[in-house]
Chains A and B, each alone.
Chain A
C-alpha cells in the first residue's frame, strides 16, 4: 500500500462506502481483545465494536508510517447487533497544519442498511511526512 501524501488529501473527499454483516465470532474476538466485562443484552456488540472496520479506512486512505492518533470522538446513537448489515462511510472533514504537524480529520458514519444511524465518529490523525 502506497501512503497518500498530506498534500493529496482533499477536504470533502468521501471514501467508498463499505458494507459489512456484523459477525458473532468477530464481536467475540473484539470483546476478548478489550477484556470486555460489561453485561450487554444478548446479541449486542460493544458500542465501540465498529472501530474494527476502520481497517478498510486505512486501506482506502493509507497513512505514511509514523503517524499518531491524536483525538477521537464517538456518538453512539443505537446499539450494533450481531447480524446487522451495516454501512461505514468516511469523509475527510478537515485538514490543517498545527505546530508544523499535518493533521487530518476523518468523520465516519456507521448505519444499518435501512438507514438507521448507529454511530458517528470523528478521528484526528497526525499525518507523518
Chain B
C-alpha cells in the first residue's frame, strides 16, 4: 500500500492495493450485499465480467479512506465526493487511486477541488471529483 506521493503534472498517487476475494467477501458480509456477481465465482464466470467483481461502494470506502489519510479531518467535516463507476474491478486486480488538483478557477472560495481516478492498469474503473474545505 502506498499513499500520497506527488508526481509530475500535479497528479498524486494516493493508494495502490490488491483487491482479493477475501476483501470482497468481508465487504459483502458487513454490508449484507451477497450479490453472486461479487461473491460466487462460478456464477460470475458466466457473466460478461468472467469473474467476481468488487462492490462499487467497497471502492468508494477505500477511496474515502485514502482521502481521509491525505486530507485529514476536513474530509469528514464537509467533504464531498461525486463519482461514476465506469468499469469493473475484478478480484485479483490491483487498483491505483490518483488525485489531481482541478483547475483553480473551478474551485470555490475556501474549498479544494480534486479530480479523482481509480484505474486497473490503463482501464479506468471510477472517475469523479472530491471537494473539501481548506484545513485550518
Contacts and interface: CB of A to CB of B under 8 A. Distances in A.
Contacts of A69: 55-57, 85
A40 interface: yes
Interface residues of B, number: 36
B80 A68 contact: no
Interface of B: 1, 3, 17, 23, 26-27, 29-33, 35, 55-58, 60-62, 64-66, 68-69, 73, 75-85
Interface stretch (A11-19, A27-35, A82-90, A91-99): A27-35
Nearest to B61: A34
Given A38-B68, A48-B57, A48-B64, A32 B26 contact: yes
Contact of B68 (A40, A55, A65, A73): A40
B68 A47 contact: yes
A101 interface: no
Interface of A: 26, 29-30, 32-41, 44, 46-48, 51-52, 54-55, 58, 65, 68-79
B62 A35 contact: yes
A91 to B, nearest CB: 19
Contact of B30 (A29, A68, A73, A74): A29
A46 B65 contact: yes
Contact of B61 (A33, A39, A78, A79): A33
B17 A35 contact: yes
Contact of B79 (A32, A34, A38, A47): A47
B56 A48 contact: no
Contacts of B81: 72-74, 76
Given A36-B61, A78-B77, 19 more contacts: A29-B29, A30-B30, A34-B62, A38-B65, A38-B68, A40-B68, A46-B64, A46-B68, A47-B68, A51-B57, A68-B85, A69-B55, A71-B84, A72-B83, A73-B80, A73-B82, A73-B83, A74-B82, A76-B80
Given A47-B76, A55-B32, A55-B33, A70 B85 contact: yes
A105 B127 CA distance: 18
Contact of B60 (A51, A52, A78): A51
A47 B66 CA distance: 12
Contacts of B60: 48, 51, 72, 74
Nearest to A49: B61
The residue among B17, B61, B62, B81 with the most chain A CB atoms within 10 A of its own CB is B61
